[in-house]
Structure 1
Amino acid sequence: MNDISSDDIFLLKQRLAEQEALIHALQEKLSNREREIDHLQAQLDKLRRMNFGSRSEKVSRRIAQMEADLNRLQKESDTLTGRVYDPAVQRPLRQTRTRKPFPESLPRDEKRLLPAAPCCPNCGGSLSYLGEDTAEQLELMRSAFRVIRTVREKHACTQCDAIVQAPAPSRPIERGIAGPGLLARVLTSKYAEHTPLYRQSEIYGRQGVELSRSLLSGWVDACCRQLSPLEEALHGYVLTDGKLHADDTPVPVLLPGNKKTKTGRLWTYVRDDRNAGSTLAPAVWFAYSPDRKGIHPQTHLAGFSGVLQADAYGGFTELYRDGRIPDAAC
């Protein structure tokens, strides 16, 4: 074996130093690009909110230019890092563009899934360990984050080389990182505890997990889609022929863009005949409208033909004209 001369060693060290300097420069360039992308994204979001309230041709041109600059910077950043886009999925179900790993400080529970049978399903031969697929899911347990790591072992047949693996478990949101407990917590905090999503994002950030407001909003929208069959069943149950209590209440609604509120209406329909000896479960169905026009309750009760108990609001009066719905005075 030939001896390496001191000149070769010096040359190698020099090239190594050059490569390290190049890597440092590229990392600095990448960091600057990411900061510029975040800055442009924040400005673009602000302009979109302004454009929603009062449309302006000048604002529209600025939005188009910033979107073009943002796309260019994102492509350059992807080229430097080697990132590729995820397959196209519905926007509410799509996760963030670059998914950060979960903090190592979070405790982890590992669930190891084995093939259903200890032998090959094709030929009946014995299986040997081949490898495994690992996926992590963020879960909330007792107000503490925990990463649920699911490991699906791969086994190979020793006779025919067939590969056997347990199927991946389903998730509440396809390809989502949130477990059912975390989604339930977000919905409960928003609708039962009246905690806005931006405050929830701050709360989770103090626990060491960064969940942006837009990500939480996407989860809420996806959960509402998943719960739509339950809402339809509740609607059908409450409006079944019988006795129905109806009323409306004003609710302040934030107008996007100008930080002002307008008055919307929340229509409440209650089915509860327990005082009359009924053993059927009570239930309530809510419907929202941006105003108090009579067309809203008339549309809600278009298929109802039972007894309606409501106040003297004129929007309910039209329902009594044809005699299909008897009036029970308050």
Structure 2
Amino acid sequence: MPNASTLDISAIPAAQRAAVLALMDEVTALKDIARRQEHLIAELNHALHGKRSEKLSEDERQLAFEDLSIAQAEVEAEKEQRAAKKSDAATKPAPRRTIGNLPAALPRIEKVIEPDSLICPCGCGVMHKIGEDRTERLDIVPAQLRVIVTVRPKYACRSCTDGVTQAPAPARLIMGGLPTEATLAHVLVSKYADHLPLYRQSQILARAGLDLHRAVLADWVGKAAFHLKPVVDRLAQHLKRSGKLFMDETTAPVLDPGRGRTKTGYLWALARDDRPWGGDAPPGVVYFYAPGRAGENAETFLTGFNGILQIDGYTGYNRLTKSSRKGGAPVLVAHCWAHARRKLKEVFDRDGSDIAAEGLRRIAEIYAVEADIRGTAPGQRLSARKARSAPLVAAFGDWLQAQRRKISSKSRLGEKLNYIHNHWEGLQTFLTDGRVEIDNNRVENLIRPITLNRKNALFAGHDEGGIAWGRIASLIETCKINGIEPFAYLTATLTAIANGHPQSCIDDLLPWNFVPSN
């Protein structure tokens, strides 16, 4: 099949042009999938058969296989979806099972799905039952394992041979797989909210008599992550429409099988939280994974955002304020007073510096104003800041410059004062807009669950695992800050996707639009 560079599109008849272009796009997409799959297979083989000097410990190998298997499952899900679009129900291959029979000791709950009508279409009368199809799927409710048995009776007419009827099988997110959507939600919440790696979940299930290998769980997580991607992408789009966002980044150690050790990846948190000033937009957070901390990653993640960005003092964000910024207009930066205070606190805790103590006292006065106006409307906040905070900030600025003239810039305290000086413009942004917070603490609080997961899981097993980590964590943490129970939300959302939820109504699947069933 020629590509766009070798094929003269204009030479193709207009009636066939659209079909040819669609086919070329499909070929390109399949090539990309194949390349990604080949890369992942090579990574798996290297983790398993690498040089003796690069051999991994059992925990390291399990985590590597876990995340690579998740990524591989995502690729398979994309291939299956593309194949499903090109074939009708009559030509679809038989669904494949990922495990043998479920333990007989597990309780069974039968759900009988009857046809809408038992009247023979030929008018012969009521049909009678001639058989049934039975399928079993593993279902998990918290602290309980059970098996959902779906029974679909078959009915036929006694007077003719054409009147067989049966209710259609219920939709599944993973065709031919054992897990219900609630089971998938349980595995996701256990891994990304309760910080249980899949091989540990497998060990827990084994104690209940259920033999589910880590690779099976990884397959489930990868497919779920694939189907949830459009929801997370839409969540990011909603956040980037805001006039003000928070951003922060934290390390995400990632296994590098080629070197037999970990490398440092990063999860970047982009968050909205307008509750301190009574904003109508619901809070949310999206985590983007990148293999490094370069500022160009932040620039890429913020494509389409134009507004005020509340950040710490990391210099990588500087490119966002320049006219050469890609993906939008230069952003207005609001720097974090908590970081400024932290710099002085480090010096005070170390040597009890009187100058650092005075700086902390002055910052405390500014924070006292913020405590008084928290929760009020932006206009009220701005008025109070102009009247009360602006003089305090101006006095702090004069004090800062006076101390910098007296103290060596190479001393520990001098370095801290220079940090505050270098971010002075951004530290004053909160005086010009009542929506802006005095610090970046909102997004720092949203980074903590990532840190806890990192501590328990040690590291991600692969860069692709970092991407899935960020995607699922985005939905779970957005649920939590909106007071939504993540397991209930993910169960309902995965079920809706399995039942063909329309792309045009994807906003209905965002966490803040979830309505728990009674």
**TM-score (normalised: structure 1):** 0.70
Change (3 A) 1:113 1:47: closer
Quick check: 1:110–1:148 contact (8 Å CA) kept in 2? Answer: yes
Name the CA distance, whole Å, in 2 between partners of 1:189 and 1:269. 23
1:173 and 2:174 equivalent?
A: yes
> Which residue does 1:31 correspond to in 2?
none
Name the CA distance, whole Å, in 2 between partners of 1:217 and 1:102. 19
| Offset, 1:258 | 5.4
Name the CA distance, whole Å, in 1 between partners of 2:271 and 2:44. 41
Deviations 1:211-236 (A, max 9, x none): 01110000000010111121011101
Q: How many pairs are equivalent? A: 253
Which range moved further: 241-250 or 122-131? Answer: 122-131
Unaligned runs of 5+ in 2: 1-42, 55-74, 81-94, 324-328, 337-518
Name the CA distance, whole Å, in 1 between partners of 2:259 and 2:144. 37
> Which residue does 1:144 correspond to in 2?
144
Quick check: 1:112–1:152 contact (8 Å CA) kept in 2? Answer: yes
Amino acid at match of 2:322: R
> Which residue does 1:248 correspond to in 2?
249
| Offset, 1:148 | 0.9
| Offset, 1:118 | 2.3
Change (3 A) 1:315 1:52: farther
Amino acid at match of 1:147: V
Name the CA distance, whole Å, in 2 between partners of 1:237 and 1:91. 29
> Which residue does 2:211 correspond to in 1?
210
SS of residue in 2 equivalent to 1:227:
helix
| Offset, 1:259 | 4.8
Name the CA distance, whole Å, in 1 between partners of 2:279 and 2:295. 31
> Which residue does 1:114 correspond to in 2?
114
Change (3 A) 1:142 1:308: closer
Change (3 A) 1:102 1:257: farther
SS of residue in 2 equivalent to 1:134:
strand
Quick check: 1:53–1:258 contact (8 Å CA) kept in 2? Answer: no
Change (3 A) 1:53 1:292: farther
SS of residue in 1 equivalent to 2:313:
coil
> Which residue does 1:324 correspond to in 2?
330
Map residues 88-167 of structure 1 onto 2, 5 A cutoff: 91=76, 99-123=99-123, 125-161=125-161, 162-167=163-168
Map residues 266-281 of structure 1 onto 2, 5 A cutoff: 266-281=267-282
SS of residue in 2 equivalent to 1:190:
helix
| Offset, 1:312 | 2.8
| Offset, 1:91 | 3.9
| Offset, 1:95 | 5.3
Map residues 174-253 of structure 1 onto 2, 5 A cutoff: 174-253=175-254
| Offset, 1:51 | 4.5
SS of residue in 2 equivalent to 1:153:
strand
| Offset, 1:48 | 4.2
Name the CA distance, whole Å, in 1 between partners of 2:44 and 2:111. 43
Quick check: 2:53–2:260 contact (8 Å CA) kept in 1? Answer: no
Deviations 1:87-146 (A, max 9, x none): xxx74588566x421111111111112221121134362201111111111111232211
Higher strand share: 1
Name the CA distance, whole Å, in 2 between partners of 1:113 and 1:222. 27
Structure with higher Rg: it is 1
Name the CA distance, whole Å, in 2 between partners of 1:144 and 1:256. 37
Name the CA distance, whole Å, in 2 between partners of 1:54 and 1:296. 35
Deviations 1:234-285 (A, max 9, x none): 1011111400111111122222365522211111111112222312211111
Quick check: 1:108–1:149 contact (8 Å CA) kept in 2? Answer: yes
> Which residue does 1:3 correspond to in 2?
none
Amino acid at match of 1:142: P
Quick check: 1:96–1:215 contact (8 Å CA) kept in 2? Answer: no
1:311 and 2:312 equivalent?
A: yes
- Percent of aligned positions with the same letter in both sequences? 39
Amino acid at match of 2:47: R
Quick check: 2:251–2:264 contact (8 Å CA) kept in 1? Answer: yes
Name the CA distance, whole Å, in 2 between partners of 1:315 and 1:208. 51
Name the CA distance, whole Å, in 2 between partners of 1:200 and 1:184. 13
Amino acid at match of 1:252: P
Name the CA distance, whole Å, in 2 between partners of 1:324 and 1:257. 39
> Which residue does 1:70 correspond to in 2?
none
Quick check: 2:96–2:175 contact (8 Å CA) kept in 1? Answer: no
Quick check: 2:46–2:257 contact (8 Å CA) kept in 1? Answer: no
Name the CA distance, whole Å, in 1 between partners of 2:239 and 2:135. 42
1:261 and 2:267 equivalent?
A: no
| Offset, 1:207 | 0.6
**Structure 1 consecutive aligned stretches of length 4 or more whose deviation exceeds 6 Å:** 53-56
| Offset, 1:55 | 12
**TM-score (normalised: structure 2):** 0.46
Name the CA distance, whole Å, in 2 between partners of 1:212 and 1:220. 13
Output the aligned Cα RMSD. Answer: 2.6
Quick check: 2:308–2:333 contact (8 Å CA) kept in 1? Answer: yes
SS of residue in 1 equivalent to 2:115:
coil
